[in-house]
Amino acid sequence: MLAAVMYTQGLPTPYEHSQPFRIEEVDLEGPADDEVLVEIRAAGLCHSDLSQVAGLRKRKVPVVGGHEGAGIVREVGRNVNTLKEGDHVVMVGVSDCGHCQMCIENRPVLCNSVAWSRSQGLLPNGNRKLSRQGMPLNHYSGVSSFAQYAVTMPQTLIKVDPAVPLDIVAMFGCAVVTGAGSVFNAAQVRPGQNVVVFGLGGVGLNAVMAAKLSNADRIIGVDIHESKFALARELGCTDCVLATDPDIVPRIKELTQGGVDFAFEVSGSKPAMATAVAVTRKGGEIIGVGLGASGDLYSYDHAQLVAEEKVIRGSFLGSGVPARDLPLYVDYFQTGRLPVDRLKSGTMGFEQLNKNLDMLDKGDVVRQILLP
């Protein structure tokens, strides 16, 4: 099959020229008893892919990229009884083992054993299915959706209504589950509360839509690109402020009578995190959703932390239970409450993948969908 393979992290921009992804013929071993073969019909390009290419987060190479995907089940191992040939599925970069401490606490996205297999470039059962001319290739988050087919664990796949187009379904696996989940599960925004979202990309706009669906009062969008504001307003932002506005802190405080209840940092940017803390009211919460560069550190005034009782917390992949949440989000989409289709900027073939990394890097697109 054809797949996008990355051999080196940290190649320079423009990626159109340095070509971090090479489109190659690779071998995929068929599914074992506890695995599933999926024909991938669509794969979203996320900012995390860009971080991986840039080398901000180290992963094992060579690796077949991609962690947002959707497709059709083509073969199931004999021990798999939750899916069957022909099912339409969305891929999620988690696969809970069911018995570690995190899984027992019903926090499957934090599953300890998946964290291990992810770091090793393996499937959660420890298998490796990808190779090229006998050379082993790594899996990316147990998904590797920049390919024509994938073999995954059944827990990575969530069955969806075949009536929903697969190029839209693909976005649910990361952008929707992460952005909407940060609002519904991590923050649990109540009607009338005020929120700000830093970073109006595929993930941030899902937080905006979820805040609207939660009947938040003020939904303030912040970005470094003014071009992001029109769509953000359409999807729920009541106000938009440029991250570079020197008066950003007093402006947001004024709009919210002293500060927001929840600040969502969805750009992975260190300066945005500092602003997020500054615009949050006493006792409010700052929720880090965007994955920054590993090693980035924040500082916080100790006395202020105590006296103001602000909470800083992380939210990974929506802090929920994907198998429970995703069907609900798909239903919200089908009933017009979560217009995820508005996030799709366009489609690409394999040959435009590197160029599309540059487009995402420049902030020119929201979600570009690879049709392998």
Give dist(CA 372, CA 39) in Å, integer.
Answer: 9
Would you state the structure tokens that stand for residue 192, as one six-digit string? 């009338």
For residue 101, give the 3-state DSSP assignment.
Answer: helix
- Taking the alpha carbons of 181, 182, 186, 188 in that order, is the dihedral positive or negative? negative
**Interface of this chain with ligand APR, residues 68 to 127, rule: CB under 6 A:** none
Interface residue with Zn ion, options 46, 147, 166, 317 (CB under 5 A):
46
User: Which C-beta is closer to ligand APR: that of 59 or that of 228?
Assistant: 228
370 binds ligand APR (CB under 6 A): no
Interface with Zn ion includes 272 (CB under 5 A)?
Answer: no
Q: Is 174 in the site for Zn ion (CB under 5 A)?
A: yes
DSSP 233-256: HHHT-SEEEETT-TTHHHHHHHHT
* Minimum distance from residue 49 beta carbon to Zn ion (Å): 7
Using CA atoms, how far apart are residues 332 and 167, in angstroms rounded to an integer?
17
The listed partner (Zn ion, ligand APR, none) that binds 100, CB under 5 to 8 Å by sort, is Zn ion
Nearer residue to ligand APR within complex by CB, 155 or 368 = 368
Q: Closest separation between CB of residue 300 and Zn ion, Å?
A: 27
3-state secondary structure 115-167: HHHHHHCCCCCCCCCEEECCEECECCCCCCCCECEEEECHHHEEECCCCCCHH
What Å distances lie between residue 138 and 36, 152, 153, CA to CA?
A: 17, 13, 15
List the end-to-end C-alpha distance of the chain, in Å, as a whole number.
10
Q: Which stretch binds Zn ion (CB under 5 A): 10-18, 75-83, 94-102, 341-349?
A: 94-102
Cβ-count burial 164-197 (b if 16+ within 10 Å, e if not): bebbbbbbbbbbbbbbbbbbbbbbebeeebbbbb
Confirm or reject binding of residue 200 to ligand APR (CB under 6 A): yes
Establish whether the linkage from the previous residue to 14 is cis, with ω within 30° of 0.
Answer: yes
- Partner whose binding site includes residue 199, from Zn ion, ligand APR, none (CB under 5 to 8 Å by kind): ligand APR
Looking at this protein, which amino acid is placed at residue 131? S
Look at residue 197 and give the partner it binds from ligand APR, Zn ion, none, a contact being a CB closer than 5 to 8 Å depending on partner kind. none
Q: Which residue's CB is nearer to ligand APR, number 111 or number 203?
A: 203
Which one of ligand APR, Zn ion, none is in contact with 111 (Cβ closer than 5 to 8 A by kind)?
Zn ion
| Of positions 50, 54, 100, 360, contacts Zn ion by CB under 5 A | 100
Pick between residue 31 and residue 204 the one whose CB is nearest to ligand APR. 204
Binds 103, which of Zn ion, ligand APR, none (CB < 5 to 8 A, cut-off by type)?
A: Zn ion
- What is the DSSP code string of 18-85? H-SEEEEE-EEPPP-TT-EEEEEEEEE--HHHHHHHHTSS---SSEE--S-EEEEEEEE-TT--S--T
Q: How far is the CB of 346 from Zn ion (least distance, A)?
A: 18
Does 111 interact with Zn ion (rule: CB under 5 A)?
yes
Using CB under 5 A as the binding rule, whether residue 176 contacts Zn ion is answered as no
Q: Token digits for 95?
A: 């696969």
Write each residue from 264 to 303 as x if it is in contact with ligand APR (CB under 6 A), else as -, in one continuous string: --xxxx-xx----------------xxx------------
Contact positions toward Zn ion, by CB under 5 A?
46, 48, 96-97, 100, 103, 111, 174
Contact positions toward ligand APR, by CB under 6 A?
46-48, 51, 178, 198-204, 222-225, 228, 243, 266-269, 271-272, 289-291, 360, 363, 366
